[in-house]
Amino acid sequence: MAAELRPNRLTQALETRRRAGLPVIDLTESNPTRAALEYPRDLLAPLANVGGLLYAPQPFGLIEARRAAAAEYGRRGIPVDAARIVLTTSTSEAYSLLFKLLASPGDEVIVPRPSYPLFEPLTALDGLVARPYDLEYHGMWSIDFASVERSIGPRTRALLVVSPNNPTGSFISHDELERLAAICAPLGVALIADEVFADYELEAGAAASAACPLARRDVLVFGLGGVSKSIGLPQVKLGWIAVAGPERIVSEALERLELVCDTYLSVSTPVQLAAAELLDRGGAIRRQIAARIAVNHGGLQALSAAAPSCHVLRASGGWYAVVQVPTLRSEEELVLDLLTRDGVLVHPGYFYDFPRESYLIVSLLTPEGPFATGVGRMLERAGH
Ligand SMILES: Cc1ncc(COP(=O)(O)O)c(C=O)c1O
């Protein structure tokens, strides 16, 4: 399919350029460990805890690590009982465990669009079908409920919410969550709320004024989080699922989820023993990331003010920014031009399933200097 080949052309052009030894300003960097942040050299020392020599497997994880994950919600003002925390190695694994819990091959999961490109392969790998609902932009992002109603059907088992969403930067509002819960609860459809970027706001107060899926008591909710974003340690492989909703339904879900988790027992003991200390120490990384994205977001807005044909869409949180640019050529031609002529790598909107052209997506995690240079070139190229 053409859509699947398109990212390859960009990847090929990137490889050719790198092989030729030509410089690349990478405005797609979303790996914090490659983003020139200052990681203390002994940050991972807690992983050497001698207790890690003993293996005492627990399907949901060691209670001290589950408490540490619950405390992360506490830090954000959301009370979560450690008994309702399930440890995973990553958010991707959490999705897969939940898909196994909630659905059978051929069943459907409703996913936001535009959003994280991994939802398609993640659902497919569990034999499920991803059906989209749209996020629309009218000066701010909101859910198109007509598209939710269109996509939901008798085989729908879960609806995904990403708050703040990648790459739109939109948090779910109270009204939206209320409406989604009212649609899903009577149908027995679970809400999966991916909050991996919840610590990062681009507008002051955005996180606090967003709706809190884990506070629901009327619908089964699975909240997802993890250290890959919250403390910039994707290689440490620790994530979690927090479960909320009606008591009886939550208890049943936990009982069945325990069997799924007991089959894999995938989270390593050393990381579980280290969890509390890592989460504590990692605050220093989180603060660096928060400062980085704030500077870059401000810089992007200032630079785009001088490029009237380009428009930075409003983003309230997360690590990304979306820039709407004139459609003087296809997005694909534009991103290839930007790479081959300007040495700047950005993602095209179609990568995230934007319904129309032209949008460019940049990672605010990019170090400040290259970010400003790259964005300057991008705005210049896109506007002409
Ligand atoms: C919305 C969203 N969820 C999950 C992840 C990945 O998290 P993990 O590394 O825990 O699998 C990402 C990574 O970019 C993401 O954008």
Question: Measured in angstroms, how far is the CA atom of residue 116 from the centroid of ligand 1?
Answer: 8
Of 116, 192, 235, 238, best ligand 1 pocket probe by most atoms within 8 Å of the beta carbon: 116
The model's pLDDT over 271-325, given as tens digits with 9 standing for 90+, comes to 999 999 999 999 999 999 999 999 999 999 999 999 999 999 999 999 999 999 9
Answer whether residue 92 shows pLDDT above 80: yes
Of 88, 97, 160, 166, best ligand 1 pocket probe by most atoms within 8 Å of the beta carbon: 166
Cα–Cα distance measured from residue 226 to residue 134, given in angstroms and rounded to the nearest whole number: 26
Question: Measured in angstroms, how far is the CA atom of residue 59 from the centroid of ligand 1?
Answer: 22
Structure tokens, 159: 């609806």
Nearest CA to ligand 1 atom 7: 91
Question: Measured in angstroms, how far is the CA atom of residue 30 from the centroid of ligand 1?
Answer: 10
Cα–Cα distance measured from residue 244 to residue 256, given in angstroms and rounded to the nearest whole number: 15
The ligand 1 atom at the shortest distance from the C-alpha of residue 162 is 1
The answer to whether 278 and 289 are in contact (CB under 8 A) is no
Q: How confident is the model at residue 222 (pLDDT cuts 50, 70, 90)?
A: very high
H-helix segments, 265-323: 269-281, 283-305
Q: How confident is the model at residue 8 (pLDDT cuts 50, 70, 90)?
A: confident
Q: How confident is the model at residue 6 (pLDDT cuts 50, 70, 90)?
A: low
The model's pLDDT over 243-267, given as tens digits with 9 standing for 90+, comes to 999 999 999 999 999 999 999 999 9
Nearest CA to ligand 1 atom 6: 91
Which residues line ligand 1 at a C-beta cut-off of 6 Å? 30, 90-92, 116, 162, 166, 194, 196, 226, 228, 234, 239
The answer to whether 111 and 131 are in contact (CB under 8 A) is yes
**How buried is residue 250: exposed, middle or buried, by Cβ count under 10 Å (0-12/13-18/19+)?**
middle
Residue 3 pLDDT: 47
Mean pLDDT in residue range 186-213 = 98
Question: Measured in angstroms, how far is the CA atom of residue 20 from the centroid of ligand 1?
Answer: 32
Torsion of CA 80, 81, 86, 92, to 10 degrees: 0
Residues in the chain, overall count: 384
Residue 340 half-sphere exposure toward CB, CA atoms < 13 A: 12
- pTM for the structure as a whole: 0.97
Question: Measured in angstroms, how far is the CA atom of residue 65 from the centroid of ligand 1?
Answer: 20
Tell me what percent of the residues of the chain surpass a pLDDT of 70.
98
Q: How confident is the model at residue 1 (pLDDT cuts 50, 70, 90)?
A: very low
Q: How confident is the model at residue 5 (pLDDT cuts 50, 70, 90)?
A: very low
Cα–Cα distance measured from residue 10 to residue 173, given in angstroms and rounded to the nearest whole number: 35
Question: Measured in angstroms, how far is the CA atom of residue 307 from the centroid of ligand 1?
Answer: 32
Biggest CA-to-CA distance, the chain: 62
Q: For residue 21, how many other CB atoms are within 10 A of its CB?
A: 6
The model's pLDDT over 33-46, given as tens digits with 9 standing for 90+, comes to 999 999 999 999 99
Using CA atoms, how far residue 331 sits from 312, 328, 349, in Å, is 16, 9, 7
Cα–Cα distance measured from residue 363 to residue 289, given in angstroms and rounded to the nearest whole number: 12
Structure tokens, 354: 């934007």
Question: Measured in angstroms, how far is the CA atom of residue 29 from the centroid of ligand 1?
Answer: 13
Cα–Cα distance measured from residue 100 to residue 174, given in angstroms and rounded to the nearest whole number: 29
The ligand 1 atom at the shortest distance from the C-alpha of residue 234 is 9
Residue 68 pLDDT: 98
Question: Measured in angstroms, how far is the CA atom of residue 91 from the centroid of ligand 1?
Answer: 6
Torsion of CA 188, 194, 199, 202, to 10 degrees: -100
Question: Measured in angstroms, how far is the CA atom of residue 95 from the centroid of ligand 1?
Answer: 10
Sheet with 141-143, side-by-side order of all strands:
85-88, 239-244, 221-226, 190-194, 156-162, 108-113, 129-137, 141-143
The ligand 1 atom at the shortest distance from the C-alpha of residue 239 is 10
Answer whether residue 188 shows pLDDT above 80: yes
Of 29, 229, 231, best ligand 1 pocket probe by most atoms within 8 Å of the beta carbon: 229
H-helix segments, 35-139: 63-75, 91-102, 119-125
In order, the DSSP letters of 205-255 are: THHHHS--GGG-SSS-EEEEEEHHHHSS-GGG--EEEEEESSHHHHHHHHH
Q: For residue 317, how many other CB atoms are within 10 A of its CB?
A: 24
**How buried is residue 24: exposed, middle or buried, by Cβ count under 10 Å (0-12/13-18/19+)?**
middle
The ligand 1 atom at the shortest distance from the C-alpha of residue 227 is 10
The model's pLDDT over 322-379, given as tens digits with 9 standing for 90+, comes to 999 999 999 999 999 999 999 999 999 999 999 999 999 999 999 999 999 999 999 9
Which uninterrupted H or E stretch holds 360?
A: strand 359-363
Answer whether residue 81 shows pLDDT above 50: yes
Best CA proximity match to 244, nearest among 222, 226, 259: 222
Of 29, 34, 92, 170, best ligand 1 pocket probe by most atoms within 8 Å of the beta carbon: 92
Residue 384 pLDDT: 83
User: Which residue is listed with tokens 């930067």?
Assistant: 169
CA angle, residues 37, 351, 158, in degrees to nearest 5: 95
Mean pLDDT of the chain: 97
Residue 7 pLDDT: 58
Nearest CA to ligand 1 atom 5: 91
Indicate the DSSP class of residue 313: P
Question: Measured in angstroms, how far is the CA atom of residue 92 from the centroid of ligand 1?
Answer: 7
